[in-house]
Amino acid sequence: SQQGEEDPQALSIQEGENATMNCSYKTSINNLQWYRQNSGRGLVHLILIRSNEREKHSGRLRVTLDTSKKSSSLLITASRAADTASYFCATLRRLRSGGSNYKLTFGKGTLLTVNP
């Protein structure tokens, strides 16, 4: 079953507007990551937030994490047409305490369309 679930499934906005995508998950995690996928391409890592962090910024990206609600949000400010892509959240969970095995589970993604 999917650990992360993004909301909405699709989002269409005008250039210059802000885009907000949400991710909910079910179990405890070590970190939550956001990835971007342009059509027909592989995924590219955008930003990582650890379970003991609440907010993180990277350029026009802002990620928040609420572990009590098991949810995260990705905000893209001042969007551009080039931001058009699918965005995925992924949760990382260590499989054994103190061990190095982990499981990274992806959600189904949000398709963002930024209209010029």
Partner 1 sequence: NAGVTQTPKFQVLKTGQSMTLQCAQDMNHEYMSWYRQDPGMGLRLIHYSVGAGITDQGEVPNGYNVSRSTTEDFPLRLLSAAPSQTSVYFCASSTLGQGSAIAKNIQYFGAGTRLSVL
Residues that bind partner 1 (CB under 8 A): 2, 30-31, 33, 35, 40-45, 48, 50-51, 88, 90, 92, 94, 98-109
Identity of the residue, 15 or 113, whose beta carbon is nearer to partner 1 in the bound complex? 113
Nearest distance, CB of residue 19 and partner 1, angstroms: 19
Identity of the residue, 5 or 15, whose beta carbon is nearer to partner 1 in the bound complex? 5
Q: Give every CB contact of residue 31 below 8 A, 6+ residues apart in sequence.
A: 48, 49, 50, 51, 91, 92
Q: Which two tokens stand for residue 80?
A: 């551009």
Contact 32, 92 (CB under 8 A): yes
Nearest distance, CB of residue 116 and partner 1, angstroms: 26
Quick one: which of 4, 32, 6, 49 has its CA closest to 92? Answer: 32
Nearest distance, CB of residue 23 and partner 1, angstroms: 11
